[in-house]
Amino acid sequence: MSVNRPNPVSVGTIVWLASELMFFAGLFAMYFTLRSTVPEEWAIQTEKLNIGFATANTTVLVLSSVTCQMGVWAAERFQPVRSGSLWNVRGWGMNEWMVLTYVMGAVFIGGQIFEYAELVHEGLTISSSPYGSVFYLTTGFHGLHVVGGLIAFLFLLGRSFTAGRFGHHEATTAVVTSYYWHFVDVVWIALFATIYLIK
């Protein structure tokens, strides 16, 4: 009889993400507290938000969770690289899926920088109003977490390329990286709904 113990790396990652969840809960509490204090500020400032652009950018990030999971499934098959043509997506390995996920995450960050530039041009800065402060703090901290995820993908791909043989360690790295990426995506969906949809 064998006992299957949980993977300590996976457990550690989940515990760490739980602490990150508390951090974001604090940001949400700050957002709603300020919103209830100066509702008239929200009525004025939310008009500056480009909902269409933010929705498109959100779609890119959400779809990157799908490509990330495809990469995890390839890693669990111990398939680091594609079999066959680059255009044969069904034959893609973990590396191809994770590179695509990385590109989509980078596009999201680029979109966020573009949005910041537009809002600053319209006079909304981190010091211009309570709304500006809370908008840039919540979305900015999330953006830093996305950048952290992009760095994790570079480590994952580096480990995959340098591994003599793709095995359990590399597959575990892919799985825990995906935990983080899915977490970042779910947090953004909540932020998007709070900031852009619940005006």
- The answer as to whether 173 is a domain residue is yes
* 43: its two tokens: 């009525």
Give the rounded percent of residues in the chain with a pLDDT score beyond 70.
Answer: 96
Please name the amino acid found at residue 79.
Q
2 pLDDT band, cuts 50/70/90, is very low
- As a whole number, the mean pLDDT across the chain is 90
How far out from the chain centre does Cα 66 lie?
A: 12
- The answer as to whether 11 is a domain residue is no
Do the Cβ atoms of 96 and 161 come closer than 8 Å?
no
- The answer as to whether 7 is a domain residue is no
Please name the amino acid found at residue 113.
I
- The answer as to whether 154 is a domain residue is yes
- The answer as to whether 12 is a domain residue is no
pLDDT at residue 174 in the model? 93
Instruction: Compute the average pLDDT of residues 180-184.
Output: 96
- The answer as to whether 100 is a domain residue is yes
- The answer as to whether 6 is a domain residue is no
- The answer as to whether 4 is a domain residue is no
Residue range 7-60, pLDDT digits in tens: 777 788 888 888 898 999 999 999 999 999 988 998 899 999 999 999 999 999
Domain that holds residue 38: 19-197
Instruction: Compute the average pLDDT of residues 132-158.
Output: 95
Is 60 exceeded by the pLDDT of residue 171?
A: yes
Instruction: Compute the average pLDDT of residues 174-198.
Output: 94
- The separation between the first and the last C-alpha atoms of the chain, rounded to the nearest angstrom, is 57
Residue range 77-114, pLDDT digits in tens: 988 778 878 788 788 999 999 999 999 999 999 999 99
Assign residue 56 the CATH number of its domain: 1.20.120.80
pLDDT at residue 84 in the model? 78
The pTM is what? 0.89
pLDDT at residue 5 in the model? 58
* Other CB atoms within 10 A of residue 173 CB: 20
pLDDT at residue 9 in the model? 75
Q: What angle do CA 174, 179, 184 make, to 5 degrees?
A: 125
Q: In the chain, how many domains are there?
A: 1
